Structure formats: structure tokens, C-alpha cells
Chains A and B, each alone.
Chain A
């Protein structure tokens, strides 16, 4: 099955970020979202997850977000800026909770702990972990839940070089197994066979001046008139 997005537009705080965005992600696709700050990468990912309102059509195979949000959302996993880690629980308890909530198998839990090198940390409260370790714990949820579509927002932030390489391997393996990955990144994730989607091409404001132009009071015609007369 494929993730199909047609004519999507998203607004944030009453300002349209992008319009007319269409994309198709077939099994095994890796799409890197690119664009300057404020282009709407995070908003697009949240919209694809059904966490932000959007206009247009989003569907996974025949399951449409607008018609059956629950069935659609059961196909995807979103990993945002926040790691959703409880500092008072140990690393093991944090991950086990998500595994149990998603009916993840014990093997999946085991393999996630191993793949993200969390075994040595298992009994440490997550609050004592470093930012990179917390990020690894957050990302380990991807493997535990076994869902086909991954929506990743800057997944490699605060990861060290080795962990970032490992993570690229995890993403590649997921794609090779027929999964779909859409990730917003500023750096090269190093996943082979991926393609890039530049969000500024769909910007609602002419790309030449960038998105900031709309906010600039000195470019507002009303402001100019007022000051000339």
C-alpha cells in the first residue's frame, strides 16, 4: 500500500504555509523533507499524522484520514521534536509501556533495546539519561510498534555520529521491508534510494522573498499608503 497525498494545504496560526502539495510514497520509499526554517516541515508531518488540521486528501491505500482517522492513524508512527520520555520511569519501563500499548511483541522490544543500544541503560531512570540517549529511547519506539509509515521530525538531533549511522541503517532496513519513511532533516541521513521534497516550492507566499516577507510590516501596502499620505 502507498501513502497518497493530494492537493494538501496547511496553515499555522492563521497563515497558510504551503498549498497544492501532492506526493505519493510507495512501499520502500524514503522522502526527505527539505526547506528553510518555517517552511512547514513539522506542520506537514503533524498533518500527515492527523495531529494538525489540513485541507486536501491524505490516505494510506484505501484508508483515508478524513473518513477513518483511527484506522489511518494505526498505520503510522510519528516521532516529533519531543521524545515522550518520562524522566521518573526507567528506560526499560518507558519502552515497555509503549510496547504494551501497541501490543508489541517481546521480541520486538528486545530487538529495539539491542538496536538502539539501550540494554546497558535499562534500569536507569530516563531523567538521568543524556539528550542523545533520550532521543535513542524515543526512536526505539519506532521498532517496538511495528507500523508501516514512519513520520520523523529531525530524528538525528543530538545523536552522536555512530548512533546517527545506526539509525540510518534502521531506516534503510524499514524501507527495505516495505515501509515508508518521511523525515524532515537538515542533514544528509545517508539512506540510499531516497528522494527529496523541497517544501518551499509549495509555499503560499512567493518563494523569492521567503516566508518572512509576509510578516514584514514595511512591505505591507496598507502600511506604505498610510505613511506616504
Chain B
């Protein structure tokens, strides 16, 4: 498991690995939104919680289609299936590596973009916490979608259709937490729900992804 995790981290930072691309997408998409809406600080600060979460979701989604596809295309997936590490462990390790290389940097950069969208300073801490708590669920759910579409050529769009509806609870509670913080309301409840979603996905996601991979490989 550790070997798979470290290999995926290494691959992400090598040529064509795609680490940083999600972050760049996140930066540019939020900048476009800020420029598109124009100089309307009140409107922007009202949009900020939802917009930050929606673009974080999309940025996370962008890199998902390569999660298992690359290993499928070069034959590695066959060998991972035969390896002593259970396939569930492989799916968990790959989800973890995906989260660390795509979603975690988004969470750390989010305050900069929050400032661009005129998000109140009081909400910045909650924004980072909510993203760090909630985005692992995105990678874990995404792994199920990636496993289901692994044999499909150009399955990126299908993957989005499968995965985005499942992202709804994370989006709702994530944006709710940031909005509550901006308005000075208690944030514990939505944050706790985000954490619960992530834990639930960590418990179920790898099994579902491994089952989908087994079906697709045979």
C-alpha cells in the first residue's frame, strides 16, 4: 500500500504527472469569476463560499480520469490485481495520493482566492478547515467513478456525470460551513458533517472502487 502511495506521489510530480494542474485551474477559474462579475464586493463576498467550493470540486474532478486509466492502459492494473496488496488497499492508496497532490494544495491556496472574492477574514480559517476535511471524500468518491469508467475511452464526461451528483452533500455542507463562518454563526455542525462524510467515504469508497475494478478487468 505504501509502495503504491509513494509511486503515485512520485508520478504526479514527474513530467506529465499533472500535480499543480488542478491548482492552476482553481486559480484561473476563480480569477475569471472575479473579473467576470466585476467590481461588486458585496455580491462577490456572497458568491464566495459556493464559488470556492464548486471550483474546488471541478478542479478535483479534472484529474480523476487518469487515476486508474493510466495503470489500465500500460498493464499495471493487471499486476496490481495479482499483487499481495488487496485491491481495496490499492484503491485507498491511490485515492490518498490523489488527494494529497490535487485537493490538499487547493485547500492551502484557498485563502488567497477567498481574499480575491472579498470573503471576510473571519471565514478564512473555516474555509481551509472545511476544504481539508471535505475534499478527501471527493477523491474517494472519485475513485469509484474512475474505477467504473476505467475501460471506457474518453470516459471523462461520463465520469463527471457519475461523480458530480455524489459530490452534492460535500458541496452543501462545505459551502454551508464557510457561509456560517462569514456571518459569524457556529460552524461546528457543518464541519462535523463534512468529517462524517469523509469518514463514510473512506470506509466504503475503496471497497466499491475495488469491486468496480474487478468487474472491469474481467
Contact = CB atoms under 8 A, between A and B. Distances in A.
A98 B79 contact: yes
| 10 closest Cβ pairs, A-B complex | A82-B75, A88-B14, A84-B75, A100-B3, A84-B76, A101-B3, A97-B7, A73-B82, A101-B83, A53-B218
Interface in B59-95: 73-76, 78-86
Interface in A62-76: 70, 73-74, 76
A95 to B, nearest CB: 12
Contacts of A101: 3-4, 80, 83-85
A227 B63 CA distance: 53
B82 A49 contact: yes
A77 B84 CA distance: 11
12 contacts: A49-B78, A51-B81, A51-B217, A51-B218, A80-B78, A82-B74, A83-B74, A84-B75, A86-B76, A93-B7, A93-B10, A97-B7
Chain A interface secondary structure, helix, strand, loop or mixed?
loop
Contacts of A81: 75
Given A50-B82, A102-B84, 9 more contacts: A51-B81, A74-B84, A77-B82, A80-B78, A84-B76, A88-B11, A100-B3, A101-B83, A103-B84
A86 B82 CA distance: 18
Contacts of B3: 97, 100-101
Interface in B170-197: none
A51 B11 contact: no
Given A86-B11, A101-B84, A101-B85, A51 B78 contact: yes
Interface of A: 49-53, 70, 73-74, 76-78, 80-86, 88-89, 93, 97-98, 100-103, 141
A88 B17 contact: yes
B10 A89 contact: yes
Contacts of B40: none
B74 A86 contact: yes
Contacts of A80: 75, 78
A102 B83 contact: yes
Given A51-B218, A84-B75, A76 B82 contact: yes
